[in-house]
Amino acid sequence: MSAGSDLREVRDTVADLLADRVTPEVLEAAERDGWAAGVWEPLHAGGFTTVGVPESAGGAGGSVAEACAVLEAAGAAAAPVPVAETGLLAGCLLASAGLDLPDGPLTTGVGDVALRDGSLTGRLARVAWASAAARIVVLADGPDGTVVAVVDPAAARISPGHNLAGEPRESVDLGGVVPETTAPAPPGARDDLARRGALARAAQIAGAARRVLEITVTYTGERVQFGRPVSRFPAVADHLVRVAEQAEMAAMASRSAAVGAGPDGEPAELDVAAAASVASEAAGLVAAAAHQATGAMGVTREFALGVLTRRLWSWRDEWGGERAWSTRLGHTLAAGGPDALWPTISRGVRV
């Protein structure tokens, strides 16, 4: 009925690939150095970094749902590399403009950028892994409309920055940079990019939330206080249930939006808005309940929970948080009027 079993296979394959590679030491080193070659290379060699980008453009092919399945597994592992950025974001942006993918990690970002007489002006804020990327893909306003421009990061002025998880989020000053390649962007390219960004983060949140549940259940089942595992106390068990519920919510929301995109389509505006709203809200609830359940141990740098909760707290706002997406969705639903409300919400997924 659904493509569920294929997607499960993708998630499991990526999870197996990452299991021994994303270790606490690797994560610490990645926060220090801004890069984790030992994580990136096997993912890239296996073709997992460009799933969802058509093979004709040099990607690995596959659907948006498969791309999100990769991202869910990468999110669960806290893989400190730009999988979302290379494939679903920069990669798809290039393909949509008829450009081939350069090899290596790619990234993209949002900002007021213009193309004048062959060189760029403006800056991008909080670009993921900008300095580590082989190329940065930019949407710029040109004299004849929006263009997709490919930039060598070495040519731009990059100022450091991070998110709460220590993942690079850098400011990129493009003033005077001459792009290597440009091509006209398809109509709606900015909106498409924003939707894909929000969907990618929702999938990563779903993966991380599921892993948080596993860690929290295991820890509270082993930690003994007052003579029994703390998970036997109803008040603690209540936190576990809330984590489980919100992990289910985030997964169902992001998977529904991803599956709804169809084999090679764009994810629908309404679906992505709903998924981003639900996943971003779930991220905060999951992190709070998991930390309460795991007590002081949970907030130590040594414990596995923090690498995930710091990502949840970061990813939920990247490409728009729950209020931003709820507001967009609300205006759309309101414009449809009361009679269209239930038919729209119950439309469900199409495969």
Residues that bind another protein (CB under 8 A): 1-4, 7-8, 210, 213, 217-218, 220-221, 229, 231-232, 234, 237-238, 240-241, 244-245, 247-249, 251-253, 255-256, 259, 271, 273-275, 277-278, 281, 322-323, 325-334, 337-338, 341-346, 348-351
**Whether the Cβ atoms of residue 214 and residue 191 lie closer than 8 Å to each other:** no
Nearer to another protein, 19 or 345 (CB): 345
Provide the minimum distance between the beta carbon of 187 and another protein in the complex, in angstroms, as a whole number.
25
The three-class DSSP label of residue 108 is strand
Nearer to another protein, 7 or 130 (CB): 7
- CB count within 10 Å of CB 248 equals 15
Nearer to another protein, 85 or 281 (CB): 281
For residues 328 and 274, what is the distance between their CA atoms, to the nearest angstrom? 9
Provide the minimum distance between the beta carbon of 88 and another protein in the complex, in angstroms, as a whole number.
18
Question: What's the token pair of residue 204?
Answer: 């990563």
Provide the minimum distance between the beta carbon of 1 and another protein in the complex, in angstroms, as a whole number.
6
Nearer to another protein, 123 or 239 (CB): 239
Provide the minimum distance between the beta carbon of 20 and another protein in the complex, in angstroms, as a whole number.
22
Strand segments, DSSP code E, in 105-233 are: 106-108, 113-116, 119-128, 135-142, 145-151, 157-159, 169-173, 181-184, 224-225, 228-229
Provide the minimum distance between the beta carbon of 244 and another protein in the complex, in angstroms, as a whole number.
6
For residues 188 and 275, what is the distance between their CA atoms, to the nearest angstrom? 20
Q: At what angle do helices 269-298 and 322-336 cross, to 10 degrees?
A: 150
Provide the minimum distance between the beta carbon of 163 and another protein in the complex, in angstroms, as a whole number.
24
Nearer to another protein, 11 or 311 (CB): 11
Nearer to another protein, 277 or 314 (CB): 277
Which one, of 40, 30, 320, lies nearest residue 168 by Cα? 30
For residues 301 and 28, what is the distance between their CA atoms, to the nearest angstrom? 10
